């Protein structure tokens, strides 16, 4: 019943999806790493960015990939503004304050999208939306291949930025130990502002690329946000390789779920939720140690 | 209890006045309905506050309790022809069962991780309910018998339930459980070191609040004679409970009551006016941002600050 080519097809789909998932989750991991807060506005950013890409596509026939780049730049600035105006004030409050604050931002973003773009489902059709590439017996959709490639390039650039530039090193230093970083002269406030902008830009970039694969409306983003949580929790919350691994695990489980007897496609989101809860509960050591570290640095 | 203290006689007077409303205006059916649903939401807010406020564990997943209990009542009533009122204790117990299934693993998580996990739990429950269509009616919902009690009956039941909820909440605050929860909220490790068993205390609060939510859900689904997974398991119900607590004042006795009394009528107003419905989420999101940034104690905190001047 399960031919080798079908299995291979599932593996390829899983890997391609994982690339995009990793990109989408890394913004969250970056923000968590530097300021130890969970960005609940992530979903709102992805959704707004999808609409920005749609608008650029309608107005200038701009392809979603360059559209996502433009949108990422816009949300880099917006993210920094959000940090300076609001998030900065709740960094030292109990974690729930930042969670609720960013949740409020998400609600406002949703409402803004309803007002500007309406509640209908939107989708972007590109010249390559329906084309496929054949490799052996496996057909691969171009609309999956492109986001995967772009995600890899973006993640590669990010890794280079964090490893090779002074700013990137400062960001890593703050996420490893904020107090020590300040002691050696890192301006942690500036680093946090840039990291929040960068996190928002990554969310926006991923949201823009998601338009190649999915239709969207102002409620878009919620499930992808939960998937991102599941991925960063699986991956240990901060490291890029961890995020990539988490993304791969989720994508493989989702792809192969169709082999479960009696499975329905509409149950697919249950997987991310189950993995999220299971990972949170079964890996308490990892999470607790992260919290401990936060306690010590304060 | 001393009747002369305002904290004792004022609530009793309020309840007496509220209880006389249906007798005085038996034909104001719209207001009786609004009153009933406000009491239901007061119950939800007060119940949520036991965990979100007293224990400091903000849950985004209460719709899982509400939905399960609503469907227990709906199914026993429509398929097995139980009297709706007799289904309520079972609805409450079903919610308690779900609260233990959720709480036993999730209370091992702290702070934001608990909150994130409950978002997952709530959404998982909704997706599951949509797919178990034999049981829940799936995406088309479940139509229930139309023979429901009168509006004044609902009004008085809702009021009674809200009174019970506030009483339980007041008792919990003053009891050993409440003190234990406050201690846990301040510093879990320190509280455990002096003998507060965090798992037991949190689950007691969670189960008590789930029981109240379950009974409220049973009444709610009888009132509407209809149940739909997206309605009774809806994320906006969970958000509503968080918002009511935050607006009124998290962790206080009367804050959630105040929050619900303001939230629910405003919500109905926003949803009924076609030119306002478009600003629905903006109002809540803006409120949430403003409260967190400027007055984390909510309205009650604001009132206290003004009164102190």
Of A60-74, A134-148, A204-218, B278-292, the poorest mean pLDDT is in A134-148
pLDDT of residue A211: 92
User: For an interface test with B, which of A96, A224, A298 has the most B Cβ atoms less than 10 Å from its Cβ?
Assistant: A96
Mutation target for A interface from B123, B129, B131, B185: give the one with most A CBs within 10 A. Answer: B123
For A245-285, what is each residue's pLDDT tens digit?
A: 888 888 988 888 888 777 777 777 788 888 877 777 776 54
- Segment A96-122 mean pLDDT: 90
Arithmetic mean of pLDDT, B82-104 = 92
Of A95, A104, A264, the CB nearest to B131: A264
Interface residue B246 vs chain A (CB under 8 A): yes
CA-CA distance, B285 to B280, in Å (whole number)? Answer: 9
pLDDT at B1: 55
Please calculate the CA angle B241-B242-B246 and round it to the nearest 5 degrees: 120
With beta carbons less than 8 A apart as the criterion, state whether A217 and A119 touch: yes
Whether residue A108 has pLDDT greater than 50: yes
Chain A residues near residue B116 by CB distance under 8 angstroms: 38, 229, 233, 276, 280
Q: Which pTM does this prediction carry?
A: 0.86
The CB density around residue B262, as the number of other CB atoms within 10 Å, is 16
Test A101 with B293 for CB contact under 8 angstroms. yes
- Residue count of chain B, please give it: 309
A&B contacts, CB < 8 Å: 128
Q: Over 60: is that where the pLDDT of A158 sits?
A: yes
Q: Give residue A258's pLDDT.
A: 80
Angle between helices A222-234 and A4-35 (to 10 degrees): 80
How many Å apart are CA B108 and CA A230, to the nearest integer? 17
Provide the mean pLDDT of chain B.
88
Helix (H, G, I), strand (E, B) or coil at B295: coil
Give the mean pLDDT of chain A: 84
Query: Which pLDDT score, from 0 to 100, does residue A238 have?
Result: 67
* Cβ-based contacts of A89 with chain B (< 8 Å): 293
In angstroms, the separation between the Cα of residue A193 and the nearest Cα of chain B is 18
Contacts of A90 in chain B (CB under 8 A): 292-293
> Where residue A287 falls among pLDDT bands split at 50, 70, 90?
very low
Q: Do A108 and B110 touch (CB under 8 A)?
A: no
B115 and A99 in contact by Cβ < 8 A?
yes
Close Cβ partners of B56 (under 8 Å, ≥ 6 residues apart): A94, A96, B181, B184, B185, B251
Interface membership of B106 toward A (CB under 8 Å):
yes
- Burial class of A163 by CB neighbour count within 10 A (0 to 12, 13 to 18, 19+): exposed
- Residue pair A253/A271 in contact by the 8 Å Cβ criterion: yes
Q: What is the pLDDT of residues A46-86, one digit of tens each?
A: 999 999 999 999 999 899 999 999 999 999 999 999 999 99
Q: What percent of chain A has pLDDT over 90?
A: 29
- Residue B281 contacts A, CB cutoff 8 Å: yes
Q: What is the ipTM of this complex?
A: 0.82
Q: Is B243 on the interface with A (CB under 8 A)?
A: no
C-alpha A84/C-alpha A78 separation (Å) is: 10
Length of chain A: 298
Task: Sketch the domain layout of chain B as residue ranges.
Answer: 6-235
Statement: residue A289 has pLDDT above 50? no
pLDDT over 50 at B29, yes or no: yes
Residue B176 has pLDDT above 50, yes or no: yes
Per the structure, how many domains does chain A have?
A: 1
**Helical H segments across chain B, by residue range:** 6-24, 29-49, 63-78, 84-106, 111-131, 133-136, 151-174, 176-186, 188-193, 198-224, 229-232, 235-248, 255-272, 280-294, 298-308
Question: Would you state the pLDDT for residue B2?
Answer: 65
Residues of A in contact with B106 (CB under 8 A): 277, 280-281
Q: Between chains, do B105 and A277 touch, taking CB under 8 Å as contact? A: yes
What is the domain extent for residue A85? Answer: 4-297
State pLDDT tens for residues B102-143: 888 888 777 777 888 888 888 888 888 888 888 887 778 888
Question: What are the tokens at B8?
Answer: 């004792």
Q: How many CA atoms lie within 13 A of A112 on its CB side?
A: 15
Contact between chains at B119 and A226 (C-beta distance less than 8 A): yes
Q: At what angle do helices A42-60 and A4-35 cross, to 10 degrees?
A: 110
Predicted confidence at residue B259, as pLDDT, reads 93
pLDDT of A216 above 80: yes
Closest partner residue to A96 (CB to CB) among B111, B119, B287 is B111
Whether the Cβ atoms of residue A34 and residue A191 lie closer than 8 Å to each other: yes
Beta-bridge partner residues of B226? B143
CATH number at residue A13: 1.10.3470
The answer to whether residue B58 neighbours chain A at the CB level (below 8 Å) is: yes
Nearest chain A alpha carbon to B52: A96
CB contact under 8 A, B127 and A269: yes
Alpha-carbon gap, residue B28 to A233, rounded angstroms: 52
B278–A114 C-beta distance less than 8 A: yes
| B117 interface with A at CB cutoff 8 Å | yes
For residue range B253-305, what is the model confidence (pLDDT) as tens digits? 999 999 999 999 988 888 887 777 778 888 889 988 999 898 888 888 888 88
Please spell the DSSP secondary structure of chain A, one letter per residue: ---HHHHHHHHHHHHHHHHHHHHHHHHHHHHHHHH----TTHHHHHHHHHHHHHHHHHHH---HHHHHHHHHHHHHHHHHHHIIIIIHHHTTS-HHHHHHHHHHHHHHHHHHHHHHH-SS-B----TTTT-EEEETTEEEEHHHHHHHHHHHHHHHHHHHHHHHSHHHHHHHHHHH-HHHHHHTT--HHHHHHHHHHHHHHHHHHHHHHHTTT--B-TTTTHHHHHHHHHHHHHTTSS-HHHHHHHHHHHHHHHHHGGGSTT--GGGHHHHHHHHHHHHHHH-HHHHHHHHHHHHHH-
Close Cβ partners of A108 (under 8 Å, ≥ 6 residues apart): A44, B281, B282, B285, B286, B289
Average pLDDT over residues A189-196: 91
> For residue B243, which residues of chain A lie inside 8 Å, CB to CB?
none
Q: Check CB contact of B127 with chain A, cutoff 8 Å.
A: yes
Q: Take residue B74 and report the two structure tokens written for it.
A: 């709906």
What average pLDDT does this structure show over B70-77? Answer: 92
Q: For residue A57, how many C-alpha atoms fall within 13 Å in the half-sphere facing its CB?
A: 23
Q: How do strand B226-227 and strand A138-141 relate by DSSP bridges?
A: unpaired
Residue A28 reports pLDDT greater than 50: yes
User: Are the Cβ atoms of A100 and B58 closer than 8 angstroms?
Assistant: yes
The answer to whether residue B280 neighbours chain A at the CB level (below 8 Å) is yes
Q: Which of B56, B109, B292 is opposite residue A100, by nearest beta carbon?
A: B292
């Amino acid at each position: 019943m399960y031919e080798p080519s079908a299995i291979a097809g599932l593996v390829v789909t899983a890997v391609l999806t994982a690339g995009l998932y990793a990109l989408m989750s890394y913004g969250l991991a970056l923000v968590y790493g530097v300021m130890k807060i969970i960005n609940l506005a992530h979903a709102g950013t992805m959704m707004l960015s999808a609409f920005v890409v749609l608008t650029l596509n309608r107005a200038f026939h701009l392809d979603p990939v360059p559209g996502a780049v433009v949108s990422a730049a816009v949300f880099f600035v917006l993210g920094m503004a959000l940090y300076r105006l609001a998030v900065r004030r709740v960094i030292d409050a109990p974690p729930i304050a930042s969670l609720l604050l960013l949740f409020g931002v998400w609600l406002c973003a949703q409402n803004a999208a309803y007002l500007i773009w309406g509640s209908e489902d939107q989708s972007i059709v590109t010249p390559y939306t329906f084309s496929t590439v054949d490799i052996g017996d496996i057909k691969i959709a171009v609309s999956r291949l492109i986001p995967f490639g772009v995600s890899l390039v973006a993640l590669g650039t990010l890794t280079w930025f964090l490893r090779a530039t002074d700013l990137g090193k400062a960001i890593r230093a703050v996420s490893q130990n904020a107090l020590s970083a300040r002691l050696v002269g890192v301006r942690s406030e500036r680093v946090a502002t840039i990291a929040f902008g960068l996190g928002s830009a990554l969310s926006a970039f991923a949201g823009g690329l998601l338009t190649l694969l999915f239709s969207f409306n102002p409620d878009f983003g919620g499930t992808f946000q939960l998937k991102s949580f599941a991925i960063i929790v699986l991956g240990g919350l901060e490291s890029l390789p961890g995020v990539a691994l988490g993304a791969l695990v989720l994508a493989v489980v989702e792809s192969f779920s169709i082999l479960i007897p009696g499975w329905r496609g509409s149950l697919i989101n249950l997987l991310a939720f189950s993995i999220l809860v299971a990972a949170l509960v079964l890996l308490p050591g990892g999470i607790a140690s992260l919290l401990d570290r936060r306690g010590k640095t304060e | 209890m001393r009747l002369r203290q305002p904290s004792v006689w004022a609530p009793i007077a309020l309840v007496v006045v509220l209880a006389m409303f249906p007798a005085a205006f038996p034909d104001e059916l719209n207001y009786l309905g609004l009153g009933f649903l406000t009491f239901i939401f007061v119950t939800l807010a007060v119940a949520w506050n036991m965990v979100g406020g007293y224990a400091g564990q903000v849950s985004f997943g209460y719709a899982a309790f509400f939905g399960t209990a609503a469907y227990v009542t709906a199914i026993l009533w429509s398929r097995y022809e139980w009297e709706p009122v007799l289904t309520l204790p079972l609805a409450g117990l079903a919610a308690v069962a779900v609260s233990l299934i959720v709480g036993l693993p999730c209370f091992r998580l702290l702070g934001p991780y608990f909150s994130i996990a409950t978002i997952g739990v709530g959404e998982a429950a909704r997706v599951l309910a949509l797919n178990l269509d034999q049981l829940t009616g799936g995406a088309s919902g479940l139509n229930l018998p139309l023979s429901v009690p009168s509006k004044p009956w609902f009004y008085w039941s809702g009021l009674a339930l809200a009174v019970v909820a506030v009483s339980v909440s007041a008792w919990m605050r003053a009891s050993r459980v409440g003190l234990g929860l406050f201690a846990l909220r301040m510093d879990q490790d320190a509280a455990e070191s002096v003998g507060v068993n965090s798992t037991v205390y949190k689950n007691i609060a969670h189960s008590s609040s789930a029981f109240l939510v379950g009974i409220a859900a049973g009444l709610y689904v009888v009132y509407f004679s209809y149940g739909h997974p997206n309605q009774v398991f809806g994320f906006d119900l969970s958000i509503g409970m968080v918002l009511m607590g935050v607006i009124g004042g998290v962790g206080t006795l009367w804050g959630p009551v105040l929050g619900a009394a303001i939230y629910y009528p405003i919500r109905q107003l926003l949803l009924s006016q076609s030119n306002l419905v478009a600003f629905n989420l903006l109002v809540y999101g803006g409120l949430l941002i403003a409260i967190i940034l400027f007055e984390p104690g909510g309205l009650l905190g604001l009132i206290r600050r003004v009164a102190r001047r």
